[in-house]
Structure formats: structure tokens, C-alpha cells
Structure 1
């Protein structure tokens, strides 16, 4: 069961290694890899947090606002980029055991997509995030972005 402290592991500074498809909807597209850094802050006594990720390779920064709904027990994950300045539609979900799954609807390149975020491999010093899109309402998924996080050197686990 999810709690308001599911994302406590992510507070602090992180280094990330990205693998992402050059075309999010093409299973035959190439993968590109690059590093980034991230910092996450806790809000609302753990029931919310914000992280900012700096991706120099893309010339971009991103921000995720995560909010825990105490009534439903679901998290909403809300993403924005400095490139657009817009808040993308949220994904909603929860952790069950060591895995968090979050789903939502969006558009990409003019096509309606079902979006899935998965958090796994969570420890005091590591975490894995992946994004997948579905063009058929969730019948099949194409993973198009993976981030492997490691605690930034010299920063304590929180």
C-alpha cells in the first residue's frame, strides 16, 4: 500500500544515466545515452516533493512535482520542462512492494498515447525510472526512456 513517504528515498542529490529512444514511438529507433544530475526536495511532511533534473546533453531542465492524495492513496506525478514551460498531463499510481507504477494519457507527435512510468530498484543509493508509451490503450508497451539513478558522491542517503 502506498504512503505519503513512498518517495522519501529520492530526496537529495543524484547522478543519472539516461538511455532514450531517438523516436519514442518507433521500436526500431536508435538509443542515445547521456548523463544528468538531479536534486529532490520534500514538501508537506513527505506527501509531496519536487525534483529538478539538469540534462546538458539536451540543453534542457525538467521538473517533477509529486503529490500524494491521502483519500485515494494515489500519487500524481506532474512533469514540466524549461523548453515548453507547460505542465504535461499527470500520471497516477502507487507503490506495491518495491515497484511503483503510474499511468496517464497524453499525446506525442500528434498521436494519443497511454503513458506508464515505473520506479524500481529502489535503495538508499540507487533507483531506476522508466517510461513507456502505448498506442493501443495499454495492450502493448514500448519503453522509450530509462534513467538509472545513483546517489551523488559525497551526499548522504536520507
Structure 2
């Protein structure tokens, strides 16, 4: 694991999104839509920022490697929640697969979050929520990236 773990993600991407339409745990209708993403290194390569733009919202992710703790931290902000920076998720890559965990409140309920990243030429990101302390997970958003 190193500050280069997310180097595969630098550049411009077409993003194929598949997402549960409602708050996870309360809905099963999946929606699909496209977006575009642009990711670049910052802070001498020890961090990266990406922006993602869909038809009706924009988001931004900051990922920063902490060499002292040997972990990545990931923060998310979106035009759907102005002025809010979500609590960070923390984790690492092993053999091209990154797993990151965090805690948040969604729809008024405490939730554990998990991000799964699969590195490579066609990366994939998955988000899952757990409402039972991590005993079970519900995948609620999948992004597949195609390089532009």
C-alpha cells in the first residue's frame, strides 16, 4: 500500500451509475444514469481530488494517504447537501482491491458505510450500507468507469 494506490484513477471518465433510488433499506428500485468524472493528483501525489457531474448534481471526493497510519481517508461532498462534508471513510488497498469503512447518518439513522474499489483499466466502485453494525451489508450504488 502506498500513496500511489489511486494512480489508476487519474484522468477523465465516463461513469455508468446504478443506484437504489430511495434511502437504502427502504427501497429496491434501481435507477441507472451516466455522469462524467475527472480525477487528478494533489499535494505532491499523496492525495487526489475528483469531481463527478451528473445531469442534476455535482460531487467531489478528496482522498488522502496517511503514511504514518498506512491508510487512505476518503471525504465526499455534493451539491445535494450544500455546506456538508461527509465524515471520512478509512481503509487500504490489497492486491488491487480497496476496502474503506466509515460511519454516518442517513435518513436520520446511524449507518456504517463501505466503499469497495477495484483498480485497473475499467475501475469499479461500490457503496454499501449496514444498519446493524456491519453484520449485513446492502449494496446501494455501483459505478463503472470508462476512460475518456
Please say whether Structure 1 and Structure 2 have the same fold, judged by a TM-score greater than 0.5.
yes
What do the CA deviations read for 1:81-128 (whole angstroms, capped 9, x no partner)? 0222310111000001111000000011000000000001x22x3100
Would you say 1:140 and 2:139 are equivalent positions?
A: no
Unaligned segments of structure 2, at least 5 residues? none
SS in structure 2 of the partner of residue 25 of structure 1 = coil
TM-score (norm 1): 0.90
Distance in 2 (CA, whole Å) between partners of 1:151 and 1:27 is 33
TM-score (norm 2): 0.95
**2:21 touches 2:27 (CA, 8 Å); kept in 1?**
no
**1:54 touches 1:61 (CA, 8 Å); kept in 2?**
yes
The aligned residue for residue 112 of structure 1 is: 110
Structure 1 residue 28, shift from structure 2 partner: 5.2
The aligned residue for residue 94 of structure 1 is: 92
Q: 2:78 aligns with which of 63, 70, 81?
A: 81
Structure 1 residue 62, shift from structure 2 partner: 0.1
The verdict on how the C-alpha distance between 1:28 and 1:81 changes in structure 2, with shifts beyond 3 A counting, is closer
SS in structure 2 of the partner of residue 34 of structure 1 = strand
What do the CA deviations read for 1:44-81 (whole angstroms, capped 9, x no partner)? 2321000000011xx10000000000101100000000
**2:23 touches 2:107 (CA, 8 Å); kept in 1?**
no
Q: How many residues matched?
A: 147
Structure 1 residue 27, shift from structure 2 partner: 6.7
Distance in 1 (CA, whole Å) between partners of 2:98 and 2:45 is 16
SS in structure 2 of the partner of residue 45 of structure 1 = helix
SS in structure 1 of the partner of residue 58 of structure 2 = strand
SS in structure 2 of the partner of residue 126 of structure 1 = coil
Would you say 1:150 and 2:136 are equivalent positions?
A: no
- Of 18-27 and 73-82, more deviation after overlay is shown by 18-27
Unaligned segments of structure 1, at least 5 residues? 153-158
